[in-house]
Amino acid sequence: MLFEFGLTGSLAAQSIDAAAVYQKSCAQCHDEPQGRTPSRDALKDRTPDAILQSLTTGSMSVSAIALSMAEKRAVSEYLAGKALGAGGESAGMCTPPNGAAGARSAPALSNVDGWNGWGNDIANSRYQPKPGLTAADVPNLKLKWAFGFPGGSQAYGNPAIVGGRVFVGSDNGKFYALDANSGCMYWSVQADGGIRAAPTVAKAGSRTAVYFGDLKGHMFAVDATTGDLIWKKQVDDHKFARVTGAPKLYDGKLYVPVSSVEEAPAAQPTYECCTFRGSIVALDGTTGAQLWKTYTIQEKPQQVGTNAKGTALYKPAGAAVWSSPTIDPQKGIVYIGTGNSYTDPAVPTSDAVMALDIKSGKILWWNQLTPSDAFVIGCGPNSTNANCPKDVGPDFDFGNAPILRTLGGGRRILVIGQKSGMAYGLDPDNEGKLLWKFKAGKGSALGGIEWGSAADDQNAYIPVSDVIGPSADAGGLFALKLATGEQVWHTPAPKLECTSGRGCTGAQSAPASVIPGAVFSGSVDGHLRAYSTRDGSIIWDYNTAKEYDTVNKVPAKGGSIDAAGPAIADGLVVTNSGYALWRGLPGNVLLAFSAK
């Protein structure tokens, strides 16, 4: 649990010089951060519970191995500037009508329609054909309600709108069921880690379940009406495994992508690098029983020697699956995108689109679109880290999910964007043969094209990040013809309202979402914008980076929009706001907009 150390941690912190601990063990990396290492200033925006979790069981556990638990608690509170467990009280429960006492029970779900899961369909199109509003309504969108995540600093959970309620997870590991009309809370449950992945709602035997994964590698099925646990399953026992991409439910079976942050501890020469392999795990939706598990790298890691520090080295490793799987019922296939290799030589299934048999998990084919991409954090031309690959790759993972669309004449296509800045069209009926490619962004370890594109029946909509490039050059949105990859239009990011500082970039890292006539795309500067699908003109613009009065009375502010894209259904546009990494602005709010 995130808050189990509250009182004990605070008492322990009183007898330890946390500043001295920080200077001795942390300052070298965080005072002058390199690559993905967060700055000390960025750490102030995290909760002490989140920092402690990182130090004890997360990506910093290897670096902090010499610290006692009391020192870890003390330095967590020192960096965050607040006590452990100071996350705020639960509030905003739905109340019965007519002022009756107690909380109002959630009505039973009569259907699972709406925006269900990450891509809103098994093809991962992020297209909502029946949004409950038209493109003509979009300029009239106004804030309907705001919900604050207690103690949060990174609102990275992708929301879903199903059956008159909004389901969403938080960075503190709390998962919520909210009334879609008012934002009041029906129930909440606690996971073991933060929740980024979009939830999926479906029948599980006689009950309706909501499925979600956490950053500790667990999958949960809870009753969608009551929040009662149905089952819990650890999908990978690697210390740094996590569920970042949303699970996909099809025909009663749940297909779960598994990623990791092993690249981070690999920056320490005392870490035995590297042993994680990406995978897809198929579970029975009713019981949680594992049906099959397929690793993206078929060979098991083996020790291949020691590094210059005498630490054991292993290979092969990597090829994490960061995004939601795509289902092809016509051919009985699951498509996935993979990340970079952690060891060299880079494995052939890294930075690839792969096809797996949906019944057995057998690998049918793959198309590696960036070869020789072996990468761990902290490696570069002058690095002395003994874990670094000899030839360091560009870190061009696929954070996008493949989008499966049908073209004229029965032809089909898979469209996917990559951190290289390249968008690809692949032939799913010819082993992923390249049909076209389009250079949308400059590309970098943070994109390029980061977390998700969208597609209607004609075009693919590609948001560009380029967050670590010049602020004024970042961002922009492309519309490409599905069949040919030809540019239909391009809208650069609007001129920034700032000159420097966190959040001062036009980067559009977040997944896009599209309805008939309008495509929505969020930005690291905090703006959520809607563009005409006809010509790319901006038809609505809302700056989310401000403070809000929330329905649950939790102090909340918006910030950067990065890892989570908007869900659209029943006349609502629902988005998270707040992302403290990679030049971003922290925030802890979920926002719902309506034109009514």
Q: What is the 3-state secondary structure (H, E, C) of 412-463?
A: EEEEEECCCCEEEEEECCCCCEEEEEEECCCCCCCCCCCCCCEECCCEEEEE
Each residue of 166-197: pLDDT tens digit?
Answer: 999 999 999 999 999 999 999 999 999 999 99
3-state secondary structure of 262: coil
In this prediction, residue 7 has a pLDDT band, given cuts at 50, 70 and 90, of very low
* pLDDT(333) > 70: yes
Q: How far apart are CA 221 and CA 253, in angstroms?
A: 12
- Cα separation values, 150 from 85, 96, 143, 467, 556, Å: 10, 23, 20, 28, 8
- Residue 175 pLDDT: 98
pLDDT higher than 60, residue 12: no
DSSP state of 355: E
Task: Give the range among 278-287, 466-475, 522-531 with minimum mean pLDDT.
Answer: 466-475
Per-residue pLDDT band at 6 (split at 50, 70, 90): very low
pLDDT at residue 88 tops 50? no
In sequence order, which residues have a C-beta less than 8 Å from that of residue 100 and are 6 or more positions away?
none
Give me the torsion for CA of 125, 126, 127, 132, rounded to 10°.
Answer: 160
| CB atoms inside a 10 Å sphere around CB 270 | 16
**Neighbouring residues of 43: CB distance < 8 A, sequence distance ≥ 6:** 30, 51, 79, 80
Asked if the model's pLDDT at residue 109 lies above 90, the reply is: no
Q: What is the DSSP string of 476-508?
A: -EEEEETTT--EEEEEPPPPPS-SSSTT-S---
pLDDT exceeds 80 at position 491: yes
Return the SS3 of 269. Answer: coil
H or E stretch at 74: helix 69-80
Phi-psi region for residue 268, left (φ > 0), alpha (ψ -120 to 50) or beta?
beta
pLDDT of 14 > 50? The answer is no
- Farthest-apart Cα atoms in the chain, separation: 73
Residue 475: its pLDDT value, please?
Answer: 97
Q: How far apart are CA 566 and CA 359, in angstroms?
A: 32
Phi/psi at 211 (nearest 5 deg)?
A: -105, 135
Angle subtended at Cα 262 by Cα 260 and Cα 268, rounded to the nearest 5 degrees? 165
Instruction: State the pLDDT at residue 44.
Output: 77
pLDDT at residue 87 in the model: 44
Contacts of 453 (CB under 8 A, 6+ apart): 126, 400, 403, 415, 416, 417, 423, 460, 461, 462, 463, 511, 512
Cα-based angle 147, 149, 152 (whole degrees, multiple of 5): 145
Strand, coil or helix: 369 = coil
What pLDDT was estimated at residue 5?
26
pLDDT (mean) for 347-358: 98
Cβ-Cβ contacts under 8 Å for 430 (sequence gap 6 or more): none
Task: Name the β-bridge partners of 93.
Answer: 185
pLDDT score at 34: 66
Q: What is the pLDDT of residue 102?
A: 57
Confidence at 4, pLDDT banded by 50, 70, 90: very low
Predicted pLDDT at 100: 53
User: What pLDDT score does 62 carry?
Assistant: 65
Of 345, 360, 357, 235, the C-alpha closest to 292 is 360
Band the pLDDT of 225: cuts 50, 70, 90.
very high
Q: What percent of the chain is predicted at pLDDT more than 90?
A: 74
Mean pLDDT of 443-451: 94
Which domains occur in the chain, in start order? 6-80 (1.10.760), 123-184+413-426+439-596 (2.40.128.630), 246-400 (2.40.10.480)
Instruction: Give the mean pLDDT of 575-583.
Output: 92
Of 392 and 28, the structure prediction assigns the larger pLDDT to 392
- Torsional class of 352: left (φ above 0), alpha (ψ -120 to 50), beta (otherwise): beta
513-515/248-250 β-pairing: unpaired
Residue 69 has pLDDT above 50, yes or no: yes
| Distance (Å, whole) CA 120 – CA 161 | 10
pLDDT at 25: 83
Q: Are 284 and 241 in contact (CB under 8 A)?
A: no
Mean pLDDT of all residues in the chain?
91
Task: Give the separation between CA 302 and CA 343, rounded to whole angstroms.
Answer: 12
Nearest-angstrom CA–CA distance, 438 and 395: 19
| pLDDT average, residue stretch 551-570 | 96
- pLDDT tier, 35 (very low <50, low <70, confident <90, very high otherwise): low
346, 371 Cβ separation under 8 angstroms = yes
The predicted structure's pLDDT at residue 56: 58
Structure confidence at residue 45 as a pLDDT band (50, 70, 90) = confident
Is pLDDT at 42 greater than 90 in this prediction? Answer: no
Tell me what the mean pLDDT of segment 248-270 comes to: 95
Q: What is the pLDDT of residue 68?
A: 63
pLDDT at residue 418, as a whole number: 98
Model confidence at 99, pLDDT cuts 50, 70, 90, reads low
Beta bridge partners of 314: 303
